[in-house]
Amino acid sequence: MTLHGDVSDFLAIAEVADATTKWLAMHLQTDVAAARPRGGRDRVSLTILQQARDYLAQVREGFVLSVRAGQVSDSSEMRYLLERVLLDWDALSRELGLALESETEVEFDRALERVRGQLLAFGMALVALAALPRLPSESVTFPHSYNKPPTYADIPAPVTPGQVLDRIEEMEGMVWQFARGRWGDLLRRRYGPLRRTYGFFETSALLAGEHARRFTSTSL
C-alpha cells in the first residue's frame, strides 16, 4: 500500500515527536540520577534535536501564515505580534518562495506545496496544545511528575495568538537548552517550560500517530 501525502505527513510528525519524547525521557531518567551533564552531543542526539527544531520552525511558519488581525482583541497583544511576526513577513515570504520576481506555474505550485506543510504542522500543534491538559494519566510519562497519578491538567491551553506564540518560542528555546544537557539545572530552574515542552511532544506523538492509523485503516 502506498501512503497518501496526508498520512505520510502525520507519520512524520508522529515519528519526530515520539523520538523526541523518548530521548528526553531517557536523559531525564539516567543523566539526572547520575548527575552528568549530557545532551545532544552524539550523532543520534543531534539528529533528534535537529528534527525537533525543524518541526517547531514549521509550526512557527504556519502560525505566521495563519494569524489574522481579527483574532486579536487586545492592542498590546497586537503590538507584540507586529513586532515578533508581521515585521518578519518579507524574510519568510522569500524563504517560502512566495516573493518571486517572475513566477512560473511550476515555481508557484512548488511554493504552495511548501506552505501546505507549515499549515499542517501548525494545525497539528494547536490540537496538541489544546489536548495536552486532557491527556489521560496512563499516557503521561514525564519522569519527574509531582502529581499522583501524573497529569498535565494544570497546564492551560493557549487561547490568544500571543499566548500561542509564547508557547512556540518557549519550546524552541527549550530544545536549544536540551543540547546543553544540564538536566539538573533544567529541573530546578526551568521545570515548567521543560514539562510543557515534554508534554507537547508526548501529546503530538499520540495524536499524530492516531490520525495516521485512522487514515491508513480507512484507505485499506
Is the pLDDT reported for residue 199 higher than 60? yes
Burial class (CB in 10 A: 0-12, 13-18, 19+), 59: buried
Average pLDDT over the chain reads: 79
Name, in order, each residue with C-beta under 8 angstroms of 37's C-beta and a sequence gap of 6 or more.
31, 180, 181, 182, 183, 184
Is the pLDDT reported for residue 40 higher than 70? no
pLDDT value for 108: 46
Burial class (CB in 10 A: 0-12, 13-18, 19+), 149: exposed
Rounded Cα gap, residues 125 and 123, in angstroms: 5
What average pLDDT does range 9-25 have in this prediction? 92
Rounded Cα gap, residues 79 and 148, in angstroms: 41
Q: Please identify which residue in the block is written with the cell numbers 525537533.
A: 52
Our CA dihedral for 193, 194, 198, 204, rounded to 10 degrees, sits at 20
pLDDT value for 209: 79
| Whole-model pTM over 0.75 | yes
Q: Are 31 and 37 in contact (CB under 8 A)?
A: yes
Q: Is the dihedral of CA 86, 90, 93, 99 positive or negative?
A: positive
Q: Are 157 and 200 in contact (CB under 8 A)?
A: no
**Count of CB atoms within 10 A of residue 101's CB?**
4
**What is the band of 69 on the pLDDT scale with cuts at 50, 70, 90?**
low
Rounded Cα gap, residues 40 and 32, in angstroms: 15
Question: Which three cell numbers mark 133?
Answer: 491538559
Q: Are 37 and 180 in contact (CB under 8 A)?
A: yes
Is the pLDDT reported for residue 104 higher than 90? no
- Tell me what percent of the residues of the chain surpass a pLDDT of 90: 43
Asked if the peptide bond before residue 37 counts as cis, ω within 30 degrees of 0, the response is no
**For residues 30 and 178, which has the higher predicted lDDT (pLDDT)?**
178
Q: Are 194 and 187 in contact (CB under 8 A)?
A: yes
Q: Please identify which residue in the block is written with the cell numbers 517572475.
A: 102
Rounded Cα gap, residues 48 and 23, in angstroms: 8
